[in-house]
A and B are shown apart, each in its own frame.
Chain A
Amino acid sequence: MTWFKKDVFYPVGQEIPFNSKNRYTSLDKKTIASTSVGQWRLSFLIFAFSLAFFILISRLFYLTVIKKKPILITKEPPAFMMQRGNILDRNGVILATDLPIVDLFVDGKFVSNAQTETQKLLEIFPDLDFEKTYKKIKSKSRFTYLKRNLTPTEQYAVNHLGFPSLNFSTREKRIYPQNELFSHILGLTDVDNNGLSGIEKAFNRDLKIHHKNVQLSVDVNVQDMVRETLLKYIEKFEATGGLSVVMNVDTQEVLALVSLPDYNPNTFEIPSKDAFFNKASLGVYEFGSIMKVFSVALGLKTGKITPDDEIDATKPFKMAHYYISDYHAKNRMLKVPEVLIYSSNIGSSKIALMAGTENQKEFLTDLGFLEPLDIELPEKAHPMYPKVWRDINTATISYGYGMSTSPLHIMSGLSALVNGGLYRAPTFLLGGNKNKPLRRILSPKMSEEIHYMMRAVSDIGSGKNANVKGYLIGGKTGSAEMQDERGRYISGSLRTSFIAAFPMNSPKYALMVMLENPKKSAETFWYNTSGWNAVPCAGEIIQKIAPYLGVSPQSELEKPPYIEAAYVIKEKEKH
């Protein structure tokens, strides 16, 4: 490097001459200026870097000392969503939901003392087997389940042990908070959370893929009252099973459906075949005398009878090698309402024969009795009826033999008879029937005539044990022999049923109770027909659910002449 002034060169090391008058004699102005800029730039850079470091240190101090931040979370949590949506009752009560469940597993790599760890675990889980648990902990496997479905308290206790080998894995489990109460409606899911039966299966797509909630028409309180009462009567009469259905007759919404025995879907035990079977929607049965109310409706619809008419029930009659007779034979002319009040097989058969086989078949088809119901549940019954429908079939079907349908079929038919004559298949969804068309099967006048007749059955006929004063219950009893798997009648067995509607001045709800094989007892005067078991059971159910459903007490109906006449005859016969 050299310093220079004009043409004078000063080699490095040579002293530059100093002139006091002119300080810059040895360096020209340009050189001096550039030196000064360099110094300034250097100072600026030092300042800038110092400032930058000061800012960084200040920031570091702020972040680490003043505002201690947690470790940065870089992974965004998923939107909260359980694998399956909830199933709710009509009031929004949860009937089925997914809950996070914790399982305990052992990582063999970190086990320090298998003996101690096993002993400590057994203090928390006394139900664990020492030998098995010890063997699992001692194995060097990196993942062995020790206990499934831990409660939060158990998880806390295991954490508190502080063993690094004990870890948790989480998963989702389908939970049914009401336990067995809705087992047949809700159904089950498998280990992969796929619906296996019931609503879980029917709405698997909505629940699992779209994560939607499904709101049912059932009411948890009505269901509980129905189940509790039915269970009581099954135990009382030592019946092998039973069912009950409550339905809104205007909307055809099912409010309760109980089929007993049932099962608890929360347990891992596989339910028995009988407990798993939904009798109300999948079972098909001969219902006996219950069918007579449909036969009378058929007679009214075809115009072959009016409520004032009389039917000859003076003696049994023979058809195709069979004698058709009455259980409570009056051996006289019966008024049409009396055919129901005294449950006359003869009267019912004669009405059906008057209406004709084709009309009967058409009427039962209109009522939906001859095909599977259009319901949401996958467990749908296929009715059984004669392939060749002869007159004898017409006669026996009129009083409930020779055709098998499900209780839900009967309930939807009954709703149509009492709601003014409009048929629509039942639904398990809240408002699920809004878009389904209604089909007229009976005129409102005929429906009203049925009201009076059913009310008379419950007042002075076989259904009087269900007569809760004030609720104007109308009904029809039915008792039929049970069949084995091959369809043969089991001697001495009986399936007793009762269908009812209330309040009969303007029916809002329909109910069905069925008991399988109820036993006779001294209390029932050694009878086991419907009037002694299913009927009082229905009465008690109505007594419980009517106030809850907002059914207020009603005064007795004004009896039309044809009903009044039946009452008068009954009174005369008493004396």
Chain B
Amino acid sequence: MNKLTINLVLSFVAFISSIGMYVLKGEVKSLETEHLLLQRKIFQTKEEIHVLEAEKSYLSSPERLKFLGEKVGALQETSVKQLYSFSLKKDEPFSPFTLASFKTLKKEDE
């Protein structure tokens, strides 16, 4: 391989390398921009989530839920009469829901 050929090959390699470097730099810059854009988007999304969480906390405040429950669902506070515990003795005066009454209700449903 004579000197000219070597020079040509080297020139070609240098040329290709420079183009490659240029393209690579362009790609890197493009990715960096994309990265920054994504970071900004993440920042904005996190900020939105943060605001929404605060909003959720306000909207689900007990006072508001109670108001909605009474207005929309006609809900009332739980009474001890609605609760039954298996540790209760039979026929506790405060609880109409003894085991016996549950059985009666079941029969009536059938």
Contact = CB atoms under 8 A, between A and B. Distances in A.
Given A70-B37, A555-B88, A470 B83 contact: yes
Contact of A73 (B40, B42, B54, B55): B40
Contacts of B92: 469-470, 553, 555
A544 B78 CA distance: 7
Contacts of A470: 80, 83, 92, 94-95
Nearest to A179: B61
Nearest to A178: B61
Contact of A469 (B39, B51, B85, B94): B94
Contact of A100 (B36, B47, B79, B93): B47
Most chain B beta-carbon contacts within 10 A, residue among A97, A100, A548, A553: A553
Question: Do most interface residues of chain B lie in helix, strand or loop, or is the interface mixed?
Answer: helix
A69 interface: yes
Interface residues of A, number: 44
Nearest to B19: A55
Contact of A177 (B26, B42, B54, B87): B54
30 contacts: A48-B15, A55-B22, A70-B37, A72-B33, A73-B33, A74-B36, A76-B39, A77-B39, A77-B43, A82-B50, A97-B50, A100-B47, A177-B54, A179-B61, A181-B61, A181-B63, A225-B62, A468-B80, A469-B92, A470-B80, A470-B83, A470-B94, A470-B95, A544-B77, A547-B78, A547-B82, A553-B80, A553-B84, A553-B88, A555-B88
A93 B80 contact: no
A97 B80 contact: no
Interface of B: 15, 19, 22, 26, 29-30, 33, 36-37, 39-40, 42-43, 46-47, 50-51, 53-58, 60-63, 66, 77-80, 82-85, 87-89, 92-95
Contacts of B19: 55
Contacts of A546: 80
A192 to B, nearest CB: 21
Contacts of B57: 93-95, 97, 177-178
Interface in A65-109: 69-70, 72-80, 82, 93-95, 97, 99-100
A414 interface: no
Given A73-B40, A552-B87, A99 B54 contact: yes
A561 B93 CA distance: 24
Contacts of A73: 33, 36-37, 40
A179 B57 CA distance: 11
Interface of A: 48, 55, 59, 69-70, 72-80, 82, 93-95, 97, 99-100, 175, 177-179, 181, 220-221, 224-225, 228, 468-471, 543-544, 546-548, 552-555
Given A76-B36, A177-B58, A554 B43 contact: no
B87 A469 contact: no
Nearest to A555: B89
Contacts of A228: 63
Given A73-B36, A77-B40, A94-B53, 14 more contacts: A69-B30, A76-B39, A80-B43, A94-B57, A97-B57, A177-B54, A178-B57, A181-B63, A224-B66, A469-B94, A470-B80, A470-B95, A552-B85, A553-B80
